[in-house]
């Protein structure tokens, strides 16, 4: 456990526990710090990187600006201190990462979600510009999500505060995909409008799934920005209001862009918009039922205001909404909003496999970059790192060793060949830190329609021939469905069968039947094993029982297969 000490003004020492690594950027690294029950995000800047006067001035400017800001949609600044090696900036901890990670998981967001996030960003920008601060690095990676799903704008390393009305800045700075054309030209300087341009890029990116000017070459990206060369993909459907908003923001001439007030009053924001979204939207889109609540409410008359205070009190436990007189409607539908979707922790699952059971067994690659083999003799092997492995024998006993371990030489050689093949097209990270969890394939089965894996952590993964997947985890209480576009949705299993996602329900029923077959086979194997231990004089009648049980098993499997074939006929 690492500690960092702060010498306070009264010469007392405050000791912080340095926790998990949160990320890095520029010259800084970010870690979780704790003091008692208080948690912070600590930005750590090594003094060795502050040798130049210009760099020190930029850091002090960042601290001065951020320290002066207090707003619910801006990352809170707590304090800063230093020791012999580093400068530490203690900030509000945002536990749900950033919009950048959210978009990587979700690919694209619904318009309702985008409206919700953009409204919060608008509030943060309005506050900044009112205090004469230009952020100049507005992007998904600097938009954090709190535990309440509030947007928090952070990282003021490139921010600048104007000293007088009409002042123009001339520093070329920003992130390539989000940088405004006037910053690139730099002839006439830039001002608050650069943040509005970046706001437009963010709106486009959340709706479409990638930035409007993105290319694989920075110079080419800059040329596209200067020419304002972007388009809306035909295969992605967004509303005319969304296109109108973006088109009126991404304008070369800063003076002709929409102002913040004009953006707030744009048609895109005229509907009913939640101030906060459910936690479930971190991993899956709002349900169609959730979205319909807004569409339905939009056409209804506004609720009376007499009971507004009661509605607000109840709604604090759920979601807060822009209009207080709409709270009752949403509070009454709380169960509808949350009963289906759940937050699913990152899962370790099978990413790819090779079936060589005709000779050795099944090799597989997990998505944490660990390789394993399920051998034909039911033993298992999992690579922990470059030369260490665990071996699980048929009795379930684990042995940890290295690839030079002579007694396992043959299986080690097979593992090396499997691993080389499975990692052939993979980008293996240098100095990759392998998971401490020892998760391996405990059982596997191949059917006409899918590959089924049961992992040692009790996760069941079914990969269908069309690349859709059903994953049962948390002791089969949570189901995650991955569609053909690799979009994930996680449900409470008891509610998943009620989903309006027909394709998922069909595959879930198939999964349920497959698991029943696997359980039945397991029982037969256990009974067979028990019977084999009984004395020989009793073996003939007992063998008859085994044959009977086996016949019943085969009959059940045949019946199940027949039913499954019919149920998946239109798959």
DSSP class of residue 306 equals T
Q: Are 274 and 321 in contact (CB under 8 A)?
A: yes
**Helix (H) or strand (E) run with residue 128 in it:** helix 111-130
Q: Are 443 and 518 in contact (CB under 8 A)?
A: yes
CA–CA distances in Å: residue 74 to residues 38, 143, 261, 380, 485 = 19, 9, 19, 50, 34
Which entry of 10, 83, 137, 240 is annotated as an active-site residue? 137
Q: Are 384 and 438 in contact (CB under 8 A)?
A: yes
Q: Are 121 and 199 in contact (CB under 8 A)?
A: yes
CA–CA distances in Å: residue 388 to residues 391, 419, 448 = 10, 13, 36
Which token pair is 58? 């930029």
d(CA 16, CA 19): 9
Helix (H, G, I), strand (E, B) or coil at 210: coil
**Helix (H) or strand (E) run with residue 73 in it:** none
**Helix (H) or strand (E) run with residue 462 in it:** strand 460-464
The conformational region for residue 416 under phi > 0 = left, psi -120 to 50 = alpha, else beta, is alpha
Annotated binding site for ATP, which residues? 47
Which token pair is 140? 């998904």
d(CA 348, CA 367): 6
- Burial 410-447, CB ≥16 within 10 A → b, else e: ebbebbeebbeebeeeeeeeeeeeeeeeebbbbbbeeb
Nearest to 271 by CA among 246, 295, 244, 306: 295
d(CA 477, CA 491): 9
Nearest to 510 by CA among 451, 443, 553: 451
Nearest to 151 by CA among 109, 120, 112: 120
Give the N- to C-terminal CA distance of the chain in Å, as an integer. Answer: 53
Alpha carbons within 13 angstroms on the beta-carbon side of residue 267 total 9
Q: Is 137 a catalytic residue?
A: yes
d(CA 319, CA 148): 9
Catalytic positions are 137
């Amino acid at each position: 456990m690492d500690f960092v000490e702060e010498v306070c003004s009264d010469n007392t020492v405050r000791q912080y526990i340095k926790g998990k690594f949160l990320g890095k950027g520029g010259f800084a690294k970010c870690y979780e710090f704790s003091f008692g029950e208080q948690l912070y995000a600590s930005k750590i800047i090594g003094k060795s990187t502050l040798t130049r006067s210009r760099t020190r001035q930029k850091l002090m400017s960042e601290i001065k600006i951020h320290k002066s800001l207090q707003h619910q949609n801006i990352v809170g600044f707590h304090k800063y201190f230093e020791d012999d090696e580093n400068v530490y900036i203690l900030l509000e901890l945002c536990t749900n990462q950033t919009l950048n990670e959210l978009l990587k998981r979700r690919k694209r967001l619904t318009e309702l979600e985008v409206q919700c996030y953009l409204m919060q960003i608008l509030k943060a920008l309005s506050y900044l510009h009112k205090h004469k601060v230009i952020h100049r690095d507005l992007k998904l990676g600097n938009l954090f999500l709190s535990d309440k799903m509030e947007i928090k704008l952070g990282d003021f390393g490139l921010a600048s505060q104007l000293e007088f009305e009409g002042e123009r800045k001339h520093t070329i700075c920003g992130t390539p995909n989000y940088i405004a054309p006037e910053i690139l030209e730099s002839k006439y300087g830039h001002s608050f409008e650069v943040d509005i341009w970046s706001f437009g890029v963010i709106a486009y990116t959340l709706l479409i799934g990638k930035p409007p000017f993105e290319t694989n070459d920075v110079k080419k990206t800059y040329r596209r920005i200067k020419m304002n060369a972007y388009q809306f993909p035909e295969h992605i459907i967004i509303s005319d209001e969304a296109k109108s908003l973006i088109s009126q923001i991404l304008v070369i001439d800063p003076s002709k862009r929409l102002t913040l007030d004009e953006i707030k009053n744009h048609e895109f924001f005229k509907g009913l918009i939640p101030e906060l979204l459910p936690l479930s939207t971190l991993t899956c889109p709002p349900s169609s039922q959730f979205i319909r609540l807004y569409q339905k409410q939009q056409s209804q008359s506004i609720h009376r205001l007499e009971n507004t205070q009661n509605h607000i009190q109840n709604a604090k436990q759920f979601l807060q909404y822009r209009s207080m007189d709409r709270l009752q409607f949403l509070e009454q539908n709380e169960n509808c909003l949350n009963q289906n979707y759940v937050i699913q922790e990152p899962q370790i699952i099978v990413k790819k496999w090779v079936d060589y059971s005709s000779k050795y067994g099944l090799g597989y690659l997990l998505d944490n970059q660990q390789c394993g083999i399920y051998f034909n003799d039911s033993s298992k092997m999992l690579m922990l790192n470059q030369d260490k492995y665990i071996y699980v024998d048929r009795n379930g006993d684990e042995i940890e060793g290295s690839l030079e371990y002579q007694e396992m030489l043959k299986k080690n050689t097979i593992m090396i060949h499997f691993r080389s093949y499975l990692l052939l097209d993979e980008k293996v990270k240098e100095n990759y830190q392998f998971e401490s969890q020892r998760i391996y394939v405990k059982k596997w089965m191949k059917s006409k329609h899918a590959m089924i894996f049961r992992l040692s952590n009790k996760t069941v993964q079914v990969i269908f021939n069309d690349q859709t997947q059903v994953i049962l985890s948390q002791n089969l209480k949570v189901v995650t469905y991955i569609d053909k576009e690799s979009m994930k949705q996680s449900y409470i299993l008891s509610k998943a069968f009620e989903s309006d996602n027909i394709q998922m329900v069909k595959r879930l029923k198939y999964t349920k039947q497959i698991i029943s077959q696997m359980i039945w086979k397991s029982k037969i194997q256990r009974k067979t094993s028990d019977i084999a231990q009984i004395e020989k004089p009793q073996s003939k009648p007992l063998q008859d029982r085994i044959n009977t049980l086996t016949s019943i098993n085969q009959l059940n499997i045949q019946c199940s297969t027949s039913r499954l074939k019919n149920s998946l006929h239109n798959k």
